[in-house]
Amino acid sequence: MICQPSGQTMPACGNCEGFVTQRYVDVFAPTGADSVRVCPNCEDLVRDGNGVREARSKRQ
């Protein structure tokens, strides 16, 4: 999570710490999680079931 000046936190990627929207977290994070494990900017990693693994092929 990234801290905002107002003291609230914004969701962030667990891998690259990049900004993600709360809607993205709601859709792609495990139930009850506050952040995602990887985001679209993490081109070398993909979600794999319960974890994260290196991509077998490059994303376009």
pLDDT for residue 1:
52
Torsion of CA 12, 16, 19, 24, to 10 degrees: -70
pLDDT for residue 31:
85
Tokens of 13: 């990627």
Model confidence pLDDT, tens digit, residues 22-59: 999 998 888 888 888 888 888 777 777 777 778 777 65
The residue whose two tokens read 């995602």 is 36
Tell me the mean pLDDT in the region 4-18: 75
Q: Is 37 within 8 Å of 46 (Cβ atoms)?
A: no
Q: What pTM, to 2 d.p., does this model score? A: 0.62
Instruction: Tell me: pLDDT of 7 over 60.
Output: no
Q: Which residue has the higher pLDDT, 20 or 5?
A: 20
